[in-house]
Structure 1
Amino acid sequence: TDNHFSYRKSNDVAAAMTALGAKHKFIRPHCPWQNGKVERFNRTLATEWAYRQVFTSNQARADALAPWLEQYNTQRRHTALGGLPPTSR
């Protein structure tokens, strides 16, 4: 993650990382380009899933996430991969 206080000092983030057995790695200070892929994914997630349509409930939005991720990873063409989906790698 980036070095924002909300990631670095959050007990909730720390608990989630522990529950997942994950190690929290931060980008180097003053190097925002290290977070570029994540920032681009978040932008795509927002425009193509979260705000593409009006959801009537948070549950409806949550239910739409898994199918969107499946399509994103297996069918959606990515210019960085020469027009292939990520699963082609």
Structure 2
Amino acid sequence: MTNDSDAPVQQVEVRFGVAYNSSEAHEVLGNGMPDDRLAQLVDLIGPHQAVRFVSQRYSSAAVHNNPPVLFFSDENGARWALDRRGDLKPNAKR
């Protein structure tokens, strides 16, 4: 996940359907390589920073039935969901 905005995003997580969360997350360095492991729920991703979320290995059917969705809060506290097609929608759930 790359935050291309000029504002930070908060409480960032990736879920696969309602049952699965990403297994880990790593900050991405300027050279594109992952760095230290972070918590599954990343508190803050600064402007123009990136984090790589990693999942467990799922079968193709499991991923098809439970596609990944990225959830985050903006600087005003609004909660958002970004799906794998790039559709961004308001999301009040946490």
Q: Same fold (TM over 0.5)?
A: no
Report the structure, 1 or 2, having the larger helix content. 1
Q: Which has the larger radius of gyration?
A: 1
Report the structure, 1 or 2, having the larger strand content. 2
Q: Work out which structure has the larger RCO, using CA pairs closer than 8 Å and 6 or more positions apart in sequence.
A: 2
State TM-score, norm by structure 1: 0.26
